[in-house]
Amino acid sequence: MPADISISYLIELLALLAGAGLLAGFLSGLLGIGGGGVLVPVLYEVFGAAGVSEDVRMHVTLGTTLGVIAPTVFRSFHAFRARDTVDIAVVKRMGPWIFFGVIAGSVIAYYASSEVLRWIWVIFGTALAVKMFLGRDDWRLADRLPHPPWLEGVSFVIGLISTLMGIGGATFTVPLLTLHGMPLLRAVGTATGVGTIIAVPGIIGYVISGWGEHGLPPLSIGYVNLGACLIAPLSVLVAPYGVHVAHGISKRKLELAFAVFITTVVARFLWTLLV
């Protein structure tokens, strides 16, 4: 970390991280997103201000985000399950293939550049935002989930892309489930179950792929920075409040909130790529 960063500036960065942690926790409970969409752009800027090399900056951001959101995802999963809003059978069916996708994503992240990882955010985030903004109650691909091997293949892709984006998987799982007839609230709850499968192997993958890399910030284990992970308790603290609010909001409002959050993230990364 550069020596010219003042104590007041460090306090400002810590305050930003604390605010991001609180917001991430609330959004995790509200949308089942695990907070990754909030933390990825914030941590990217924080690590940039701390002087982290551009070669590893995005990688550290993604690995650290998974480390931060993991406890929140688990807390949200248990909160939704307590309200009987998680389809455990779907989680068990998708789980093994999600896991294999996470492993593949961890390998790809080792070789991918920072620019490639940000373009992944822009491309997939844009498609999802458009879908959620234009979403209608009668949009359906089918009334039930696809038969093997289609759901298994899609689950693999969800694990792969989610790992490369540093998110808990709900960004893709929620639209997949709602397009196949599952009510949005139950889809959000089920997505938190998927997120628990992504988080742990994703963290391990970023630790291994970043082991021994040069230019990592202090307190890093591979691409996971333990200093930033200290904000995780704040996310865990407020996640149940998001779950409570989610049960009192209409389906369409949840869809629009989901779309706005994705659009904000896409705009930020597109700015860093084009300016």
Per-residue pLDDT reduced to its tens digit, 26-60: 876 776 565 677 778 778 878 887 778 888 999 99
pTM for the predicted model, two decimal places? 0.81
Of the listed ranges 25-29, 47-51, 69-73, 200-204, the least confidently predicted one is 25-29
254: its two tokens = 């949840």
d(CA 55, CA 51): 11
pLDDT single digits (tens) 90-145: 999 999 999 999 999 999 998 999 899 999 989 988 987 887 788 665 678 888 89
Binned at pLDDT 50, 70 and 90, residue 3 comes out as very low
Asked if residues 170 and 192 have their Cβ atoms less than 8 Å apart, the reply is yes
Helices (H), 50-87: 54-82
In this predicted model, which residue has the larger pLDDT, 7 or 152?
152
Query: Residue 221's pLDDT is what?
Result: 93
* pLDDT, tens only, 164-175: 998 888 878 988
Q: Are 66 and 28 in contact (CB under 8 A)?
A: no
The predicted structure's pLDDT at residue 170? 82
**pLDDT reported for residue 13:** 65
In the numeric block, the tokens 């021994």 are attached to 212
Residue 149 CB-density burial (10 A; 0-12 exposed, 13-18 middle, 19+ buried): exposed
- Cα separations in angstroms, 139 against 1, 131, 216, 225, 254: 50, 10, 45, 41, 16
Structure tokens at 5: 């960063």
* Encoded tokens for 235: 């996310």
Beta bridge partners of 220: 225
pLDDT tens digits for 230-267? Answer: 777 887 788 788 888 877 777 677 778 778 877 887 88
